Amino acid sequence: MTDFDRLLQQTRQALASMRSTGEVPDDPDVRPARGTGSAAGGQVEAVAVGQRVESVTVDPRALRMGAEMLGEQITLAVNAALDDLRLQAGEAADAPAVDPVALGRQLDELQNESVRSMAAMTGALTDAVRRIQQAAR
């Protein structure tokens, strides 16, 4: 089996999986959206990934604010990170959706056309080899 055949087979399997489950297979190159936010002039920073807060970083200088003010600043930073995450998700949702059925049809057509082209090329090469052999006699 050639590399192209292997790739074609993997693509067909992924499409079949998408058709049956409606989910995209795991891809190590696909990373979840990441939202960031800050408050108190950058002294409080938050990172959100996958609708969850991944981290909150507080600069030691921010500890001088007092508990209530620091709590408000942390809340602002986390909300800014979640808003950034939602914004990124909204931008991703605006991207055109992939129709796995249509993509599968296109892949089938491409494979059929490739087979026809390969058959024509093989026939032409066979004919050329036959002519060379005849000329050598």
**Whether the model pTM is above 0.75:** no
Taking only the tens place, the pLDDT of each residue in 74-125 is 999 999 999 998 888 776 555 566 677 777 888 888 888 888 888 889 999 9
Answer yes or no: are the C-beta atoms of 45 and 78 closer than 8 Å: no
Give the residue among 47, 48, 35, 39 at the shortest CA–CA distance from 71. Answer: 39
Nearest 5°: the CA angle 63, 69, 75 is: 100
Reported as a single tens digit per residue, the pLDDT across 39-88 is 999 999 999 987 789 999 999 998 898 889 999 999 999 999 999 988 88
Q: Which residue has the tokens 């007092």?
A: 66
Beta strands 52-58 and 34-39, pairing class: unpaired
Residue 52 phi, psi dihedral angles, 5° rounding: -130, 150
How close are the terminal C-alpha atoms of the chain, in Å? Answer: 36
Burial of 77 (0-12, 13-18, 19+ CB in 10 A): buried
SS (H, E, C) 10-53: HHHHHHHHHHHHCCCCCCCCCCCCEEEEEEHHHCEEEEEECCEE
